[in-house]
A = this chain, B = another copy of it.
Amino acid sequence: MKNAILITIGDEILSGNTIDTNSNFIATELKSIGISVKQIFTISDEIEVIKSTLKDAFDLGDLVITTGGLGPTRDDKTKKAFLEFFDDELISDEKTFKHLSDYLISRNRQDLLELNKSQADVLSKAIVFQNDFGTAPCQMIEQNGKLVFSLPGVPYEVKPLIKDKILPYLKEKFELDSIFTRIVSVVNVPESILAERIADWEDHLPSHISLSYLPIGNRVKLRITASGKDFSQLENDVETQIQFLLKIIGENVIATYEDKIEKILGEILTDRKLSISTTESCTGGEISKLITSVSGSSKYFLGGIVTYATQKKIDILKVSKETVAEHTVVSEEVALEMARGGQKLFGTNICLSTTGVAGPSKGEDGKDVGTVFYSIRIHDIEKASHLYLPYMERTDFMNFVAQRILQDLVAMLVQNH
């Protein structure tokens, strides 16, 4: 298996101003074609540091991908480091200049051409991959059978360069095997017990198929990966193994294709022509945001409401004053009434609700921080649940609860099939 080394260049990440999301994206994409990331260096924007890290990376991996340190205002440090490291010279490249010029014209920024034109100067030994979403092109140098790519640092420039240009190039260049992956999501069984139950199946997997466990929330994702020459054969082989697996733990499986819970839900709802709405309090819109982050969600998501103030729960969702007085607003009873009210308001088959205390200060009724009641209503079936997550930060709490309620909903839908 080929190994990649990533080098993230730039002080924004070292200073804590920016989270490095490029490395995660690149690692995931490389894995999909069978290249694993062996190490990541995050370094500052200094020519000597870039050069010495290039040397280490060059020794460690079959290919090296750098991101960042390009662009005219940053003095093109990465380009200078590449020039010195590969003992090369800059040439002005007509094709790259034309691409840059067209790019700026298409965005009505011709005025920037003078400032940016040095970005069309490339290393004489480089292969250039044009950047359709920014001004710095990607350059690649090959030396001693190893490949070194230099990319810009902006995530929305990195993504299409990797996906549309570099991956296809690497696949052909390295004559890589095809890789086929499916993810099976298992709920309501702890990882250790799951491992015991499927140990025998795992032991008998063919050698070109591998398995890994990814626990998330109270779900375990089983990633089944096959590699080989014939893609459609791989698809068949994995499907066969999933069928075996379903015989052993079928009742705990909520999905065998999609990975993300909001996508799994989207497929089920589309499939069964069910509509959904949300009524949130402590999650503040996180659930509707998660549902609508899926393209095509307008087919099943009709709407959601965040009734943050208690009076709005009463006015808009018709939660009864008496219920609030008797049980407090953070209670199972209010969660159930919210979902009932939301189902009516939006006229949906399904409605979800949350009411709780995200913290860090206590709620108006004195319930402990980290307490949440949520309810799931499907037609006229309803179920309320309770979580207590006192150790989580506010935004982590909101996200955890949203993930969990969607997961419970999916489990209910799958089990009542």
Cβ B285 vs Cβ A306 within 8 A: yes
Chain B proximity of A116: nearest CB distance (Å): 14
Across-interface contacts of A159 in B (CB, < 8 A)? 393
A36 within 8 A of B: yes
Is A136 in contact with chain B by the CB < 8 A criterion? no
Q: Which of B133, B156, B284, B302 contacts A312 (CB 8 A)?
A: B302
**A349 in contact (CB, < 8 A):** no
Within the complex, the shortest CB–CB distance from A6 to chain B, in Å, comes to 8
Interface residues of A toward B: which range? 35 or more
Which of B38, B133, B391 sits near A133, CB closer than 8 Å? B391
List A residues 359-412 near B (Cβ within 8 Å).
359-361, 364, 391-396, 398
Minimum CB–CB distance for A182 against chain B, Å: 16
The stretch among A140-148, A244-252, A265-273, A292-300 that forms the contact with chain B is A292-300
Enumerate chain B residues within 8 angstroms of A306, measured Cβ to Cβ: 278, 285, 288, 292, 303-305
* Minimum CB–CB distance for A370 against chain B, Å: 12
Copies of this chain: 2
By a CB distance below 8 angstroms, the chain B residues around A43 are: 39
Knowing A284-B288, A289-B289 are in contact, say whether A23-B24 is a contact too (CB < 8 A): no
Within 8 A of B (CB), among A295-322: 295-298, 301-309, 311-312, 316
Q: Is the CB of A40 within 8 A of B39?
A: no
Q: List 29 A–B pairs whose Cβ atoms lie within 8 Å, in order of A's numbering.
A: A13-B24, A15-B31, A16-B25, A16-B29, A16-B37, A17-B214, A19-B20, A19-B21, A38-B44, A40-B41, A41-B42, A133-B391, A156-B391, A156-B392, A156-B396, A278-B285, A284-B288, A284-B293, A286-B289, A288-B306, A292-B306, A292-B398, A295-B360, A298-B308, A298-B364, A302-B308, A302-B312, A303-B307, A316-B345
